[in-house]
Amino acid sequence: MADKPILYSYFRSSCSWRVRIALALKGIDYEIVPINLIKDGGQQFTEEFQTLNPMKQVPALKIDGITIGQSLAIMEYLEETRPIPRLLPQDPQKRAIVRMISDLIASGIQPLQNLSVLKQVGQENQMQWAQKVITSGFNALEKILQSTAGKYCVGDEVSMADVCLVPQVANAERFKVDLSPYPTISHINKELLALEVFQVSHPRRQPDTPAELRT
């Protein structure tokens, strides 16, 4: 029997949340090893964790005898090795759109407002900076989704794009971004949060969630 996959995760990390959603969606049983990005100066900087992921970031997934960093690479691997249920549509054009939306969020929004960047802009500028980059990305995303969305980001099947969307909306809410200009994003997010796989993977329901944030 193969060893159970191990996910190195931080409860609030949106990239870790993506992978937790994908694992839940595909029905993969796994263990979580919490990596606290704040405590002790950041546990991601320990020698032990750097051996797992030299980028010193979560998530990292140990699975099938390998360790994979980067949430999109992890999801692509899960899709290739455990294709049902799908994270990517069968139609090549829809598949390209799903990847485009996923990359827009994972490369064009989230990295610009993550912890390492916020440390560089200074405490007094963090909220304004995060709001600016998320708003810029959501302006583009809303326009795209208006032409691609059905019930979810691309049609009526949950895809990798949806897996990326929900954690990013949570980031927007945390940074007090006004979501009223984004009705498509908000509607899709509401639909997705009603699904069990998005609930069990939620930051408020993780082993390392502080007691005061649990639901």
What is the pLDDT, as a whole number, of residue 2?
66
> How does DSSP assign 60-96, residue by residue?
EEEETTEEEESHHHHHHHHHHHS-SS-SS-SSHHHHH
0.85 surpassed by pTM: yes
What is the pLDDT, as a whole number, of residue 119?
86
What is the pLDDT, as a whole number, of residue 53?
87
Low-confidence ranges of the chain (pLDDT < 50): 1
| Phi, psi at 116, each rounded to 5° | -65, -35
Question: E strands along 14-76, which residues?
Answer: 31-34, 60-63, 66-69
What is the pLDDT, as a whole number, of residue 1?
46
Side chain identity, residue 76 = E
DSSP state of 149: B
DSSP state of 10: -
Q: pLDDT by residue (tens digit) across 120-145?
A: 998 899 999 999 999 999 999 999 99
Sequence-ordered list of residues with C-beta below 8 angstroms from that of 80, at least 6 positions apart, any chain = none
